[in-house]
Amino acid sequence: MYAKDICLNQDVIVVSDTIPHARGLLLSLLETNSAKKCTSKVILEITNRFDYALSSKRDIKLYYQLFRRLAELTQRSNSLFWVTNNNFERAYMEYRLGVSLPFVQVLRPLGITGDDSDYSYPTDLPAPNRSMLVALNHSNTNVFKLAQHSYSVPLFVIPDEHTHYGGPKSLHRFKGFVEFPYQVSTMKLYENLAAGVILLIPTPRFLEQLWLNHQHDIFYFMHVLRDLTPSIANFYNRKPPLYSPHAGFPSWSAYMDYYAAEFAPYIYYFDSFEELKSIAEMNPADLDWKGVRKGEGKFFKQSQTETIKGWKRLFRTIGCQV
């Protein structure tokens, strides 16, 4: 009755982020008893691992069985729809479930920040400066200390406790934003792309080197690789590949938003700490030779347009007027 009550007055229900929280709702879709079955259309918007926070092996086995049945249901009915916001999720689900999921759509985040999330820059920090690179510290890495102390990279690192640092508007006031990816996809990345923030990211080769040397923890990869394979590349070198990498990048990079072919032309990549130091010493105009700041994220409009079109198509498929 739980699922039936939720669905009673809803035409469409969108489940996002932590998918296991909707387990009862998803189980109801397989019910033969109409009194227990959800009659709404259900969209799974998977922005995190679909099995996030499950720990019991027995429970995971049952959960995977549920999703295999849901995959079968999707191909014979018009009640369940699957969306991810990044390339990784479908590949991860297919590997875990051992089934093909060709109906999964990728619809990227819009990267829009509203007034409610637009916190002002902390007054107890040094003022933003166009002559300085900036980074946001997080606990699972040694790279910022390494860059500053071992390679003398002039870099201002916003401390952990300043989670409300002003968002892309604040980062825009620095020369550029340095990030060492710790997930395959973050909302912050899309917000910065949309705002025209100059992004400085390690190349896939350098990122893998840092991970293998235990200098940087890539949480998504660690979660997958812990019991699957000793190398980042092996998991993503599937044949045929689901997605094509940016020119010159390894195949696994196509599954990380930071290296996605559609965004790579607007991101600045460095292949070593020495190269990052050289970039940090450049004047702002020479550094931004791609014109990202001047364009104020206009290149990202195409991605936003495609996302909106994709959602409209999906809702029309469901039967909604949009």
Domain boundaries, given as residue ranges, for the chain: 2-106, 115-300
Q: For position 263, what pLDDT does the model report?
A: 95
In order, the DSSP letters of 40-73 are: SEEEEEE-S-TTTT---HHHHHHHHHHHHHHHHH
Q: Which two tokens stand for residue 67?
A: 């999703």
Do residues 254 and 243 make contact, with C-beta atoms less than 8 angstroms apart? Answer: yes
Could you give the CA distance from residue 101 to residue 18 in angstroms, rounded to a whole number? Answer: 19
* CATH classification for the domain delimited by 115-300, as one of 3.40.30, 1.10.3470, 3.40.50, 3.30.70: 3.40.50
Geometric angle at alpha carbon 286, from 121 and 170, rounded to 5°: 10
Q: Exposed, middle or buried by CB within 10 Å (0-12, 13-18, 19+), for 7? A: buried
Q: If you search the block for the tokens 């933003």, which residue do you land on?
A: 128
Q: For position 144, what pLDDT does the model report?
A: 94
Reported as a single tens digit per residue, the pLDDT across 71-125 is: 999 999 999 999 999 999 998 899 889 999 999 999 999 998 865 455 789 999 9
Low-confidence residues of the chain, pLDDT below 50?
A: 116
Could you give the CA distance from residue 267 to residue 294 in angstroms, rounded to a whole number? Answer: 14
Comparing C-alpha atoms, which of 42, 297, 77, 50 is closest to residue 191? 297
Q: If you search the block for the tokens 């606990």, which residue do you land on?
A: 139
Q: For position 227, what pLDDT does the model report?
A: 54
Q: For position 223, what pLDDT does the model report?
A: 62
pTM: 0.90
Could you give the CA distance from residue 290 to residue 265 in angstroms, rounded to a whole number? Answer: 8
Whole-angstrom Cα Rg for the chain: 21
Q: For position 155, what pLDDT does the model report?
A: 95
Bridge partners, 82 (sequence order) = 44
Those residues with Cβ within 8 angstroms of residue 137's Cβ, 6 or more apart along the chain or in another chain:
144, 157, 158, 159, 160
Q: Exposed, middle or buried by CB within 10 Å (0-12, 13-18, 19+), for 150? A: exposed
Q: For position 133, what pLDDT does the model report?
A: 97
Q: For position 242, what pLDDT does the model report?
A: 87
